[in-house]
Amino acid sequence: MNSFTYRYPVTVYFGEKAARKSLPAELEKVGKNVMLAYGGGSIKKNGVYDELMGLLAAAGKNVTEFSGIMSNPTYAKVQEGASLARENEIDFILAVGGGSVIDCCKVVSAQAKTDSDLWELETVQHGGPTEFIPMGAVVTAFGTGAEMNNGAVITNEEKKIKGALWGAFYDFAILDPAYTMTMPMSQVVSGAFDALSHCMETYMGVPRETNLSDEINEACQRNIIRNLRATLNDPQDIGARSELVWAAAMGENGMLKIGKVTDFQAHMLEHQLGAYTNCNHGQGLAVIHPVLYRHMLPEAVPQFARLAVNVWGVDPAGKAEAELANAFIDALASFIKEVGLPTTFAEMGIPTDTDYKAVADSTVLTAGCCKKFTKDELLAVLNECR
């Protein structure tokens, strides 16, 4: 295991009615002007908006709404939020939604406190923000685990880059599984696969030998697989949904990454696909993972074999390590079909004239992947995914 320092700044309130139980005390700690950030308005249909507005009113807060945050949030939307925060002298941001809203607000929190262009500051000057507007998150759509860290995936439409920016950690995150019960099932499946992908991407990083983080990771993967199946069998199973919500958080709260250098090559490739197509993130990962893993196989036999046995329950008796490694990829591909995720870009509706070479050429090559891909190899992966 590599050396590490672990510190975790986010307070997590988990369980049914967590907002009612925890938010009033948290609001007492912050200033009067609160920005309520959300996406397309689903929180107004499922009652979450009315509940939170009632709690904000009871706390005597002046509320400024920042709405319309899209899936794959853009840098232009970040700037809109930052301007709104400055104009209204916002003291605190309450982000309500899934990963897109939560990611967007991390960067809004930082951009509102600096005159520098944050994209330029972080990606060109290699600096970082030092001041932030305090924030809290209310999770209504799980999968990304975005509330657990300070990294944000933002699409710069002008530059055709979907990449990471670093903003603020949330002071607290409210995870009420009941809030996720109105998610469309396609979004539940996509989010759960994103969470599974986070676990696999962390597991496939170096070092290759199993450590405690990897053993916890294996349990998280088994949990996601089992509880996604249970949720598909009974969408109203709050117990299964609770497990998925916490498993998604575990994937990104740093626990699985202790002592590791992570992989995340599949994520980097899918991010750039999203920059060029605005496709669904979890679906894109589902298409890419089995193909990428077959290319990775010669360098990843021990890890894949362990996953086959310890996560997917493949009987190792009489099987060579290479056979087990192949069985892992087969099991993953079968699961993707089982839960109704797409297996090709065509199924996702991605245009046939997409410039896959541009996607591959602009993809970040990750240092922690056990196989060092080239841009040409990534292009081959994309072409096989068509």
Q: What is the mean pLDDT of residues 1-7?
A: 80
Residues 6+ apart with CB under 8 A from 164: 151, 152, 153, 154
Residues 174 and 276 in one domain: no
User: Does 6 fall in a domain?
Assistant: no
The enclosing domain of 207 has a CATH number of: 1.20.1090.10
The span from the CA of 61 to the CA of 94, in Å, is 12
Q: Is the pLDDT of residue 192 over 90?
A: yes
Residues 291 and 151 in one domain: no
Residues 197 and 169 in one domain: no
Q: Is the pLDDT of residue 131 over 90?
A: yes
Pairing of strands 62-66, 92-97: unpaired
Q: Are 147 and 137 in contact (CB under 8 A)?
A: yes
Residues 27 and 66 in one domain: yes
User: Does 3 fall in a domain?
Assistant: no
Q: What is the mean pLDDT of residues 272-281?
A: 97
Residues 15 and 75 in one domain: yes
Residues 282 and 329 in one domain: yes
Report CA dihedral (268, 271, 275, 278) to the nearest 10 degrees: 160
Note the maximum CA span of the chain: 68
Q: Is the pLDDT of residue 229 over 90?
A: yes
Q: Are 51 and 36 in contact (CB under 8 A)?
A: no
Q: Is the pLDDT of residue 135 over 80?
A: yes
**Residue 207: which pLDDT band, with cuts at 50, 70 and 90?**
confident
Q: Which of 179, 207, 232 is the last residue of a domain?
A: 179
Identity of the amino acid at 190? S
- 101-121 tens-digit pLDDT: 999 999 999 999 999 999 999
User: Does 4 fall in a domain?
Assistant: no
Residues 138 and 224 in one domain: no
Q: Which of 152, 179, 206 is the last residue of a domain?
A: 179
**Domain around 25:** 11-179
Provide the domain count of the chain: 2
User: Does 348 fall in a domain?
Assistant: yes
User: Does 191 fall in a domain?
Assistant: yes
User: Does 5 fall in a domain?
Assistant: no
Residues 174 and 206 in one domain: no
Residues 312 and 287 in one domain: yes
Average pLDDT value for the chain: 96
The span from the CA of 279 to the CA of 77, in Å, is 18
Residues 88 and 156 in one domain: yes
- Ramachandran region, residue 160 (left: φ > 0; alpha: ψ -120 to 50; beta: rest): left
- 39-57 tens-digit pLDDT: 998 999 999 999 999 999 9
Count of beta carbons in the 10 Å neighbourhood of residue 225: 21
Residues 141 and 195 in one domain: no
**Residue 309: which pLDDT band, with cuts at 50, 70 and 90?**
very high
Q: What is the mean pLDDT of residues 284-294?
A: 98
Q: What is the mean pLDDT of residues 22-27?
A: 98
The enclosing domain of 107 has a CATH number of: 3.40.50.1970
Q: What is the 3-class SS of 111-143, one letter each residue? A: HCCCCCCHHHHHHHCCCCCCCCCCEEEEECCCC
User: Does 2 fall in a domain?
Assistant: no
Residues 346 and 233 in one domain: yes
Q: Which of 145, 179, 213 is the last residue of a domain?
A: 179
Q: What is the mean pLDDT of residues 220-224?
A: 98
User: Does 1 fall in a domain?
Assistant: no
**Token pair of 380, please?**
């081959």
